[in-house]
Structure 1
Amino acid sequence: MVDRQPHLRRRNACIIVLGDIGRSPRMEYHASSLLDEGFNVDIIGYVETKPIDALLLSGPKCKINELTAVPDTNLTPKLKYIFKTIWQTLSLLIALVSIRRPNFLLVQNPPAIPTLVVCYLYCTVTRTKLIIDWHNYTYSILALTAGEKSFIVKLAKWVEHRFGAKANAHFCVTKAMQEDLKVNWKINHAVVLYDRPPSQFHPIELSQKHELFMKLSKDYPQFLPKNCLDFKESGVIESTALTQKLINGNVLYKNNRTAIIISSTSWTPDEDFGILLKALEEYETTASENSSLYPELLCIITGKGPQKQQYVDKVNDLKWKKVSIITPWLETEDYPTAVASADLGVCLHWSSSGLDLPMKVVDMFGCGLPVCAINFKCLKELVIHGQNGFVFDNHRELADQLKFWFENFPSNPSLLESKETFRRNLQEFQSLRWRENWRLNALPIFNSFI
């Protein structure tokens, strides 16, 4: 029988993030896109960081169902993990029974435990379609710290194999992962949905950079002008270490200004910040010996994670003259501006599976920012050495790339050809944004379950 009132069909979606929603941008973009297509969206996850405004300002169409954080206990590590699994299982079940009945669950993996098990059981009972968005593999991440022979790693791999294959549809982030799911997991219909930059990641005017530098100078003296004399007699009404605003409103870069590199990290074992520290140490030595050739370098490292404090302590002990490092937690609206204000991006993400790509590079490319990225198996699906950035295997190669890019900064004539190649290729990358790519590759899958 033909449905003559398709507009009355139920259009409810539920998105599961067993992590911080605000630090799960891909799932936030899924939710925002579904809302734009007229879906009601329930999001289940932790709220440790403010989600994007597109979700917060959608009224009753978007409901964020916050999970209660797992309490701290004095249990042994094994018992603590068991307690955490039980707690999250019950929390997830309680949240699922309280939402609007969805047409489908869209589940972020990892983590697989207990997410895939709980969501599969819920979908079986309620006859809801299950869709998995494969960002990486749980077992490969756990293996970084627990070892491949660990029981928990073997359990995670079994859960991903067993319950992952039962989903009705799959998205994945690379062609390499699509092939791996097909060959090793017997999942033949995974759709590659590349991360693409949303509209807020784009090149900006110098005046916008100046406003950010002025804002950051309130908390970080590295942005304050080195000469604290009043500039008003020369027509300057505002000044930072990098820029100056004239009385007529124009903003100019300063001569011999500081250069900025930016990196976003989760401060976990799969992102070895020590590589960047060693590369910066080598740059510091070379730049100090050739002060007129190399600018001062300000390194902005954003993000939260378990290893952050130990590296912050190391940074605080450094006595460098040409390199400084700050580790701010930027507000949601400031992060795209900071990326667009930098002169070079650095990505330390090394995939535990070798099959996923760093979203931070996608954001940088969206802003027109070239990137130095550490090499791994499928990185070439995003970063092509010498075409839109640089690829390095160790700290020495990264140091050489920093020295190459910043020698005689900002007007090294030998870089003109490279910069033009990067600009042209990044401009082409920016032509396809998240929204258009999602509508082309993801929306047909979601609509098939209405």
Structure 2
Amino acid sequence: MAAGGAVLLLAAAGTLVLAALLWRRRRAAAGGAGRVCVAVLGDLGRSPRMQYHALSLARHGRGVELLGYLQTRPHGDVLRSGKIRLVPVADLRGLRVGPKLFQYVIKVIVQAVQLLYTMLKIDQPSYILLQNPPGLPSIAVAWVACLFWRSKLIIDWHNYGYTIMSLNHGRNHPLVRIAKWYEKLFGRLSDYNLCVTNAMKEDLWVNCNIKAVTLYDKPASYFKETPLELQHHLYVKLAKDYEPFKPRYVTESGSLNAEWTAFTEMDLKNGRVIKARGRPALLISSTSWTEDEDFSVLLKALEDYERYIDEGVELPSLVCVITGKGPLKDYYNGLINKLHFKHIQICTPWLEAEDYPLLLGSADLGVCLHKSSSGLDLPMKVVDMFGCCLPVCAIYFECLHELVKHDENGLIFRDSNELAEQLKMLFLGFPTLEGKLHNFRKNLCASKQLRWDESWDQTVLPLLGQNE
């Protein structure tokens, strides 16, 4: 029965695709010169690099079809651009009939039909710029769409999909091995390839015979240090929903003449903002709450930090903000709720796209727990933190040195004990403008980091000029 159902579904899928092709051929040609379809089989609002691609293309006068799931609101710059059109793809959920393998096969087939149909409805593009992962089935579908449109296919390799699958299934699972074969085979059919590290560039060439150009993630222009006045307004906004941002105490004499948060005080007479006396240190970590980030490492380090204070070490209290959405968020929130800290407060908000860079630019230290499933990609969250001149403690993996320079712009740790010691060392004497934390920030501010626009113009724009 299951096999018969799959055959029927395949037949229906073929009919739909054929109908879409015939229908599209009857439409007048839209003229694809210069247009680009930027596609990701994922949530556009949580795909910043693809949003950056779309904005860069629009900045150079290209019409852009930005295709993906519309679950989270994209950045306001994307929404305001007259050159970018959002093309929604429905997120398929609830396929729960039969064994898991059968469910997965059915989901891939339906996604393939859905994605191809959507790609054939858009105005004719000169290029399809596709994010991988997820590449199954999007790489093959994009390749077929490019054949139909006579377009060029550009794959932006953020990681390998099969290594992410192996986190749940193991490297030798049949699905993982099929996914690996699929990525290598269809990846070779692309016209151009981008990747996020030199290590991945080398791996693509050696193991897949794919020639790629490294386009490092770079912060957008709005990732920068946040002025104190904007910090205060952000804290006031967050204090409405999150207890850690509310003022610890307000004197009777000052309460009528000032507006307080846990971190700042604004004089209501002249609007002057100062940092609150005895303010806590603000620690931030962003995450997709998935298996490649073990947040128990951070929680154990915070327990040690609390113990240091109880033992008399002169450390500030902490507000730890962990931002993001993902499947393990409820699990870790359950662990957080079991902790009873006296000197540490933790909250896990989901921030609006415009508020996230403001909070990074207001924080004292970032923590990154991203472990690459392939060992070949870099955490974009650290890129954004560095754009805000925010020092980082990041957990070690193979090619992290391409981004985090230990003891120069941050620190690299391997376990919770090492992270706890780093937190103690960095926050001793806080908030004095001395010590390693301040030196890391000075180094980041002085580094004159290349921004996304300049990097994109140097790396991607020449590719688009080779062929329309």
The answer to whether the superposition gives a TM-score over 0.5 is yes
Structure 1, unmatched stretches of 5+, are 1-7
Does residue 85 of structure 2 align to residue 67 of structure 1?
Answer: no
Does residue 327 of structure 2 align to residue 327 of structure 1?
Answer: no
Give per-residue Cα distances to partners, 1:362-417, cap 9 Å, x unaligned: 0000001000000111000000110000000111111111111111211274x1xx
The residue aligned with 2:272 is 250
Does residue 441 of structure 2 align to residue 441 of structure 1?
Answer: no
Residue type of the alignment partner of 2:453: R
Q: Count residues in correspondence.
A: 436
1:219 is aligned, of 235, 238, 241, to 241
Q: CA RMSD in A?
A: 1.6
Q: Which residues in structure 2 correspond to 1:104-183 (within 5 Å)?
A: 104-183=127-206
The residue aligned with 2:444 is 426
Distance 1:430 1:352 in 2: 30
Identity %: 47
Secondary structure of 1:10 counterpart: coil
Does residue 333 of structure 2 align to residue 315 of structure 1?
Answer: no
Give the deviation of 1:97 after TM superposition. Answer: 0.9
Secondary structure of 2:339 counterpart: coil
Distance 2:306 2:213 in 1: 45
Give the deviation of 1:9 after TM superposition. Answer: 8.1
Give the deviation of 1:71 after TM superposition. Answer: 3.2
Native 8 Å contact 1:236 1:244 kept in 2? no
Secondary structure of 1:63 counterpart: strand
Q: TM-score, normalised by structure 2?
A: 0.90
Relative to 1, partners in 2 of residues 1:230 and 1:54: Cα closer, same or farther, differing over 3 Å?
Answer: same
Distance 2:245 2:150 in 1: 56
1:277 is aligned, of 287, 299, 302, to 299
Distance 2:71 2:383 in 1: 23
Secondary structure of 2:304 counterpart: helix
Native 8 Å contact 1:301 1:326 kept in 2? yes
The residue aligned with 1:363 is 384
Residue type of the alignment partner of 1:219: D
Give the deviation of 1:318 after TM superposition. Answer: 1.2
Native 8 Å contact 1:366 1:430 kept in 2? no
Q: Which residues in structure 2 correspond to 1:296-445 (within 5 Å)?
A: 296-411=317-432, 413=434, 415=435, 418-419=436-437, 421-445=439-463
Does residue 115 of structure 2 align to residue 97 of structure 1?
Answer: no
Give the deviation of 1:429 after TM superposition. Answer: 4.2
Give the deviation of 1:289 after TM superposition. Answer: 2.0
2:79 is aligned, of 56, 74, 96, to 56
The residue aligned with 1:5 is none
The residue aligned with 1:263 is 285
Give the deviation of 1:93 after TM superposition. Answer: 0.9
Relative to 1, partners in 2 of residues 1:187 and 1:239: Cα closer, same or farther, differing over 3 Å?
Answer: same
Residue type of the alignment partner of 2:182: V
Distance 1:85 1:429 in 2: 45
Give the deviation of 1:279 after TM superposition. Answer: 0.6
Distance 1:422 1:406 in 2: 13
Secondary structure of 1:255 counterpart: coil
Native 8 Å contact 1:210 1:251 kept in 2? yes
Distance 1:93 1:289 in 2: 62
Distance 1:54 1:206 in 2: 24
Distance 1:104 1:433 in 2: 24
Give the deviation of 1:213 after TM superposition. Answer: 1.0
Distance 1:156 1:428 in 2: 43
Give the deviation of 1:427 after TM superposition. Answer: 2.2
Secondary structure of 1:102 counterpart: coil
Structure 2, unmatched stretches of 5+, are 1-30
Give the deviation of 1:125 after TM superposition. Answer: 3.1
